[in-house]
């Protein structure tokens, strides 16, 4: 006769998480008991305080062709929290109780791009919550290289700050690294209200640029003025906004356009640029097949710059603006983690100004 003695080392600790077992609409999201993650020697265990939604979450939930997930999957790329346990190989500067943000980029560390510090070009680049389980949970185990300590001097709400990493690193790379925006430059942001656009507005203001924003919502335009936008255009009531801009810039055109709307606005964005101007893009929410007048490209000597996410260094550099209070998380509303389904529905309707954050 043999007696089964459970090994305490394999004791399963449970937590709450919002998961999905199959792709589909928001109602596939389910708040349930889930096994708490194991902490590897190179990892810390984080008690999640805030996890922000991104459009990426909607795409992953619905299903991205070619992306195969281990089900059930946990979404969530933008995470703030507190360290509650350290793996055996974790650096001394991290300790239990440390408040942290999570760098959502997953890179190999050894390819030619990683060695250059260009992690977002990594041959196997992935995003936490997309390619691996994310932060819609009470706890998450994070590799130590993805842990960013929040300085004690930073006056920041630990739940709201989760709104920042992904969109901040994306906007910083677009404007500072790619467009090389300078004091006095005119920047046109197409479609204000989303996370990247709001981070871009604040980064551009901190860099000394003049910012013009467009939206189909007068309410969003008014709110963007309070964040420093100097001119606003309702692109529904003024469809030929490039002509308005032409007058606003005294027939010069703007230095940089940030257009993540794509198909619906692309042609007008190109027309809005000055000679030698730059169009930067990190998305195409209205469709990805747009018409380009090549005469404009060569005659005006325009540059089109694509970008996605950012490097570890770009995120850490951009966060200095947050620690000093020059860039703030803009949060539309906070839902409990158990209401992630409602939060997804709000994001799908696109009525929000700023980020939607879940609180476990
Ligand atoms: Zn790599």
CATH code of the region 168-306: 3.40.50.720
Q: Ligand 1 center to residue 239 CA distance, Å?
A: 43
Give the integer Cα–Cα distance in Å for 114 and 123: 9
Burial of 141 (0-12, 13-18, 19+ CB in 10 A): middle
Q: Ligand 1 center to residue 116 CA distance, Å?
A: 9
Bridge partners, residue 149, by sequence:
100
Domain boundaries, the chain: 8-163+329-359, 168-306
Q: Ligand 1 center to residue 132 CA distance, Å?
A: 16
Q: Ligand 1 center to residue 355 CA distance, Å?
A: 29
Q: Ligand 1 center to residue 311 CA distance, Å?
A: 11
Spell out a b/e string for 233-256, using b for 16 or more CB atoms within 10 Å of the CB, else e.
Answer: bebeeeeebbebbbebbeeebbbb
Q: Ligand 1 center to residue 67 CA distance, Å?
A: 19
Q: Ligand 1 center to residue 337 CA distance, Å?
A: 33
Phi, psi of 142 (to 5 degrees): -125, 135
Alpha helices in 53-191 (DSSP H): 55-62, 112-115, 165-172
Q: Ligand 1 center to residue 114 CA distance, Å?
A: 4
In tens, the pLDDT along 74-128 reads: 999 999 999 999 999 999 999 999 999 999 999 999 999 999 999 999 999 999 9
How many Cα atoms occupy the beta-carbon half-sphere of 57 within 13 Å? 33
Q: Ligand 1 center to residue 156 CA distance, Å?
A: 32
**pLDDT value of residue 12:** 78
Place of tokens 């809005």: 272
Q: Ligand 1 center to residue 52 CA distance, Å?
A: 26
Q: Ligand 1 center to residue 110 CA distance, Å?
A: 5
**pLDDT value of residue 286:** 87
Class of domain 8-163+329-359: alpha beta
Q: Ligand 1 center to residue 304 CA distance, Å?
A: 25
In which residue ranges of the chain is pLDDT below 70?
A: 1-11
Q: Ligand 1 center to residue 313 CA distance, Å?
A: 14
Percentage of the residues of the chain whose pLDDT score is greater than 90 = 90
Quickly count: other Cβ atoms within 10 Å of residue 337's Cβ.
21
How many Cα atoms occupy the beta-carbon half-sphere of 153 within 13 Å? 6
Tokens of 189: 């942001």
Q: Ligand 1 center to residue 287 CA distance, Å?
A: 29
Give the integer Cα–Cα distance in Å for 269 and 290: 11
Q: Ligand 1 center to residue 167 CA distance, Å?
A: 21
DSSP 288-323: S-----HHHHHHTT-EEEE--S--HHHHHHHHHHHH
Q: Ligand 1 center to residue 181 CA distance, Å?
A: 28
In tens, the pLDDT along 1-27 reads: 555 555 555 567 899 999 999 999 999
Q: Ligand 1 center to residue 117 CA distance, Å?
A: 9
Q: Ligand 1 center to residue 131 CA distance, Å?
A: 15
**pLDDT value of residue 175:** 98
Give the integer Cα–Cα distance in Å for 19 and 38: 18
Q: Ligand 1 center to residue 53 CA distance, Å?
A: 26
Is there a cis peptide before residue 349, judged by omega within 30 degrees of 0? no
Residues 6+ apart with CB under 8 A from 6: none
DSSP 182-249: -TT-EEEEESBTBHHHHHHHHHHHHTT-EEEEEES-HHHHHHHHHTT-SEEEETTT-TTHHHHHHHHT
Alpha helices in the chain (DSSP H): 55-62, 112-115, 165-172, 195-206, 218-226, 241-248, 266-272, 294-299, 312-323, 340-349
Q: Ligand 1 center to residue 106 CA distance, Å?
A: 9
**pLDDT value of residue 104:** 97
Q: Ligand 1 center to residue 331 CA distance, Å?
A: 32
Q: Ligand 1 center to residue 134 CA distance, Å?
A: 20
**Which of left, alpha, beta for 259 (phi over 0: left; psi -120 to 50: alpha)?**
beta
Bridge-based pairing state of the strands 43-52 and 78-86: antiparallel
3-class SS shares of the chain: helix, strand, coil, % to 5? 30, 30, 40
How many helices (H) and strands (E) in the chain? 10, 17
Q: Ligand 1 center to residue 105 CA distance, Å?
A: 11
Q: Ligand 1 center to residue 129 CA distance, Å?
A: 18
Q: What is the DSSP letter of 29?
A: E
Return the closest-CA partner of residue 76 out of 112, 37, 102, 109.
102
**pLDDT value of residue 265:** 93
Q: Ligand 1 center to residue 259 CA distance, Å?
A: 28
User: H or E stretch including 101?
Assistant: strand 99-102
**pLDDT value of residue 6:** 53
Give the integer Cα–Cα distance in Å for 108 and 260: 28
**Which of left, alpha, beta for 359 (phi over 0: left; psi -120 to 50: alpha)?**
beta
Query: Do the Cβ atoms of 195 and 174 come closer than 8 Å?
Result: no
pTM tops 0.85: yes
């Amino acid at each position: 006769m043999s007696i089964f003695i459970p090994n305490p080392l394999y004791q399963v600790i449970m937590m709450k998480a919002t998961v999905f077992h199959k792709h589909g609409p928001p109602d596939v999201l389910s708040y349930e008991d889930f096994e708490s993650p194991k902490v590897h020697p190179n990892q810390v265990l984080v008690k999640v305080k805030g996890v922000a939604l991104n459009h990426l979450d909607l795409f992953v939930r619905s299903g991205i062709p070619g992306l195969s997930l281990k089900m059930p999957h946990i979404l969530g790329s933008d995470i703030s929290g507190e360290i509650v346990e350290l793996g055996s190989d974790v650096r001394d500067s991290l300790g239990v109780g440390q408040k942290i943000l999570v760098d959502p980029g997953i890179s190999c560390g050894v390819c030619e791009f990683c060695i250059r510090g260009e992690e977002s070009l990594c041959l196997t680049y992935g995003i936490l919550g997309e390619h691996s389980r994310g932060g819609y949970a009470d706890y998450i185990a994070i590799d130590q290289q993805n842990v960013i300590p929040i300085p004690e001097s930073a006056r920041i709400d630990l739940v709201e700050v989760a709104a920042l990493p992904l969109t901040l690193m994306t906007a910083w790379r677009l404007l500072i690294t790619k467009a090389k925006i300078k004091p006095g430059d005119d920047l046109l942001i197409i479609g204000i209200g989303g996370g990247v656009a709001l981070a871009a507005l604040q980064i551009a203001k901190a860099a000394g640029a003049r910012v013009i924003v467009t939206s189909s919502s007068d309410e969003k335009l008014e709110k963007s003025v309070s964040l420093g936008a100097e001119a606003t255009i309702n692109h529904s009531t003024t469809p030929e906004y490039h002509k308005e801009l032409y007058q606003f810039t005294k027939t010069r055109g703007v230095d940089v356009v940030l257009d993540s709307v794509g198909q619906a606005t692309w042609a007008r964005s190109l027309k809005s640029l000055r000679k030698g101007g730059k169009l930067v893009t990190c998305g195409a929410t209205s469709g990805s097949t747009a018409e380009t007048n090549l005469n404009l490209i060569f005659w005006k000597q325009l540059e089109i710059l694509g970008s996605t996410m950012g490097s570890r260094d770009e995120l850490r550099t951009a966060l200095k603006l947050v620690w000093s209070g020059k860039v703030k998380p803009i949060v539309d509303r906070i839902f409990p983690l158990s209401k992630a389904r409602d939060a997804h529905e709000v994001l799908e309707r696109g009525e929000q100004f700023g980020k939607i954050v879940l609180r476990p």
